[in-house]
Amino acid sequence: MFRIKELARQTGVNTPTIRYYEEIGVLPAPSRADNGYRVYSEQDLERLRFVTRARSLDFTLEEIGEILSFRERGEAPCAYVIGQIAAKIEEVDHKITELNRLKEELQQFQQQAEQLPFAEIEAKSCVCHLIENQEIR
């Protein structure tokens, strides 16, 4: 049996987050000791580790709740998880495309900036001539 600080230490999840997970139902309400302290089981520890791993894979708390609901109903969540993974891969690909576009735009911007006469620009009263004169795409 663990108290909340020990659960936090073993999982790397801070205590307010553990309480929040309980509040939204991702973690079940813990047992209480005679003194009113929360008491967690090995099963709670494993569940919190699962939640932490799923969060590291960019699953939302709602998605994690759905996965846990499948299991609690005695159903395998695998088909749901596979669908979510496919959607996440597509999302990552989109972000990579956007980041590559941004990188190219910044490189072009850098090349243009290196050609500017800074003495003339510094005399202007604008916040930053480089950014203000950049075209919005």
pLDDT of residue 47: 96
pLDDT of residue 43: 94
Of 128 and 47, the one with more pLDDT: 47
CA 46 to chain CA centroid, Å, is: 20
pLDDT of residue 110: 86
Average pLDDT over residues 12-27: 96
Kindly tell me if the per-residue pLDDT of 137 is higher than 80. no
Tokens of 106: 């910044």
Indicate if 125 and 102 belong to the same structural domain. Answer: yes
For 36, residues 6+ apart whose C-beta sits below 8 A from its C-beta are none
pLDDT of residue 116: 72
Q: Which domain holds residue 47?
A: 4-76
Tokens of 94: 């989109």
Domain finish residue from 32, 56, 76: 76
pLDDT of residue 125: 63
Indicate if 37 and 56 belong to the same structural domain. Answer: yes
**Number of domains making up the chain:** 2
Indicate if 62 and 112 belong to the same structural domain. Answer: no
Indicate if 64 and 96 belong to the same structural domain. Answer: no
pLDDT of residue 124: 64
pLDDT tier, 49 (very low <50, low <70, confident <90, very high otherwise): very high
Between the alpha carbon of residue 122 and those of residues 116, 117, 136, the distances in Å are 11, 9, 23
Indicate if 30 and 66 belong to the same structural domain. Answer: yes
Indicate if 9 and 38 belong to the same structural domain. Answer: yes
Helix (H, G, I), strand (E, B) or coil at 114: helix
Encode pLDDT of 67-116 as tens digits.
Answer: 999 999 999 999 999 999 999 999 999 999 999 999 999 998 888 777 77
Contact 30/10 with Cβ under 8 angstroms? no
Kindly tell me if the per-residue pLDDT of 30 is higher than 80. yes
Indicate if 65 and 128 belong to the same structural domain. Answer: no
Cβ neighbours of 109 (radius 10 Å)? 14
Question: How confident is the prediction for the chain on average, in pLDDT?
Answer: 89
Indicate if 64 and 93 belong to the same structural domain. Answer: no
